[in-house]
Amino acid sequence: MGTLISRSPERTELLGETWGREAASGWVLGLCGDLGIGKTQLVRGLARGLGCSDRVHSPTFSLVNIYGGGRMPLFHIDLYRLETRQQIIDAGLEEYLTPAGGVTVIEWAERWFGRKGPASRPELELRARYYLRWVQMDSLNEQERRIVYEDTLV
């Protein structure tokens, strides 16, 4: 488990860029935190670290944006409009949990997995194991964000 303090939106993007350079095919990042906390900024940096030059924006209304042009595609999911796990399944998003040849980022991941992530949901029967970076973002003040992350094989 790691904890970082970001003191600006640019630092949050830089963290995402670092993670993007480290990312391997099949990674899933679950991002949790309040509205406006910086989840999409982290994804912008991640895309840059993967070499994607597309403009990154939150897919709140389309649910999924796919960014290419980098060393592997980035599947960016936003669950803000979906309230239950069943709605997420009905939307066909389970296929992105095993992103062969790419990386998946899920904003509002707690809506799919619960507050403590997949480890707290033994009823989740997944078809394949995958690497998950579970990320909790919290506001310390107007500029500072605490970013706590944990890597697991689910």
CA distance 104 to 61: 17
CA–CA distance, 107 with 134 (Å, rounded to integer)? 11
Q: Which whole number is the average pLDDT over 40-46?
A: 95
Question: What does the pLDDT average to over 36-50?
Answer: 95
Q: Residue 129: pLDDT band by 50, 70, 90 thresholds?
A: low
Q: Which domains does the chain have, with CATH numbers?
A: 2-153 (3.40.50.300)
pLDDT digits (tens, 9 = 90+) for 70-110: 999 999 999 998 988 889 889 988 888 877 789 999 999 99
Task: Identify the pLDDT of residue 125.
Answer: 46
pLDDT of residue 83: 84
Alpha-carbon gap, residue 143 to 123, rounded angstroms:
38
CA atoms within 13 A on the CB side of 69: 11
